[in-house]
Amino acid sequence: MKPRHKRFALIGGGIAVLGIAAALVLNAFQSNLVFFFTPTQVAAGEAPIGKTFRIGGMVKEASLQRQPDGLTVRFIVTDTAKEFPVAYKGILPDLFREGKGVVAQGKLGEDGLFTASEVLAKHDENYMPPEAQHAVDQAGKAAKTVKQ
């Protein structure tokens, strides 16, 4: 085999690997990107129904209710402007508290109930998840523009 052919073979192999990787990435991106919505956006009907996404905001005070099975909990997430109910079956992270920030991942049902598959943990008492902060900030901004 001539050196030129050899070089072509090596470059071709490299491009093939890149091509396969690009195909894998595009395919994975299509189905595995998880978008984030604030309660206001959900209330405005921007969030998809039956598709996984993330929500963030504050857990409304005195909204946490344990269901009779002992494991399922319901609580209300608010960004101070809008709020909506979330259900989660399982053990909540240590730092889940009423009145504190929360981020949950799951699906929105036809009935408007968000069923979380995962409630994301925080790692520090005073730490606010950026997404939850973002939701509250957005709602604050919206409120200001309405007043003007």
Partner 1 sequence: MIPELGHFALILALLVALVQGTLPLAGAARGSRAWIAVARPAAQAQFLLVAFAFGCLTWAFVSHDFSVAYVAQHSNSRLPLEYRLSGVWGGHEGSLLLWLFMLSGWTVAVALFSRHLPDAMVARVLGVLGLITVGFLAFILLTSNPFERLLPAAEDGRDLNPLLQDPGLIFHPPMLYMGYVGFSVAFAFAIAALLSGQLDAAWARWSRPWTTTAWAFLTLGIALGSWWAYYELGWGGWWFWDPVENASFLPWLVGTALIHSLAVTEKRGSFKNWTVLLAIAAFSLSLLGTFLVRSGVLTSVHAFATDPRRGIFILILLAIVVGASLFLFALRAPKVGLGGRFGLVSRESLLLMNNVLLVVATGSVLLGTLYPLFIDALGLGKLSVGPPYFNAVFVPLMVPLLILMAPGPLARWKHADMRPVLKQLVPAFVAALLLGVAVPLLYGGWRPLTALGVLLAAWIAGGTGVAIAGRLRGGLSGQPLHWWGMHLAHVGVAVFVVGVTMVSSYQEEKDVRMAPDDTVTVGGYTFRFIGVRKEMGPNYQAMVGELELSRDGKVLRTMKPEKRAYLTSAMPMTEAAIDTGLLRDVYVSLGEPIDERAWSVRVYYKPFVDWIWGGCLLMALGGIVAISDRRYRLKRRAAALQGATA
Q: Does 57 bind partner 1 (CB under 8 A)?
A: no
Cα–Cα–Cα angle for 108, 109, 113, rounded to 5 degrees: 75
- CA distance linking residue 30 with residue 57, whole number of Å: 26
- CA distance linking residue 53 with residue 19, whole number of Å: 29
Residue from 45, 111, 124, 145 in contact with partner 1 (CB under 8 A): 124
Contacts of 8 (CB under 8 A, 6+ apart): none
Stretch that binds partner 1, among 22-30, 74-82, 107-115, 139-147 (CB under 8 A): 22-30
Stretch that binds partner 1, among 76-84, 88-96, 106-114, 140-148 (CB under 8 A): 88-96
Q: Does 125 bind partner 1 (CB under 8 A)?
A: yes
Cβ neighbours, 10 Å, residue 75: 23
Would you state the structure tokens that stand for residue 125, as one six-digit string? Answer: 């008492």
Stretch that binds partner 1, among 20-28, 74-82, 107-115, 140-148 (CB under 8 A): 20-28
Residue 138 half-sphere exposure toward CB, CA atoms < 13 A:
19
Residues that bind partner 1 (CB under 8 A): 1, 3, 6, 9-10, 13-14, 17-18, 20-21, 24-25, 27-29, 31-36, 54, 66, 69-71, 89-92, 94-95, 103, 105, 120-121, 123-125, 127, 129-131, 134
